[in-house]
Amino acid sequence: MGIRHIDYDKCVRCGRCVTYCPQDVLRADEDKRPFIVYLQDCQSCFLCEKYCPAGAISVSADRERRPILPWKI
């Protein structure tokens, strides 16, 4: 699942979540508000949630795991 919610009422637009994301999941718009670009790449590392000074980001540890299927010819 990864990032569950970004509370824009709490967000102070500091950009730390975008900076600390190791997988480039978040980007900032022209007003420096973060938004999710690649949710499927989120590793649920909680760095964005940890470094957010306002507590505006919530991350879920639950990840969707798809079964690995064999190659079919």
Q: How far is residue 56's CA from residue 72's CA, in Å, rounded to a whole number?
A: 44
- Chain segment 25-67, per-residue pLDDT in tens: 999 999 999 999 988 888 889 999 999 999 999 998 876 666 7
What's the pLDDT at 63? 61
Domains of the chain: 2-60 (3.30.70.20)
| pTM as predicted | 0.75
Given the structure tokens 């079919």, which residue do they identify? 72
- Predicted confidence (pLDDT) per residue in 3-14, tens digit: 889 999 999 999
pLDDT over 70 at 20, yes or no: yes
Instruction: Please give the Cα distance from 69 to 3 (Å, whole number).
Output: 26
Query: Quick check: helix, strand or coil at residue 54?
Result: coil
16: pLDDT confidence band, cut at 50, 70 and 90?
Answer: very high
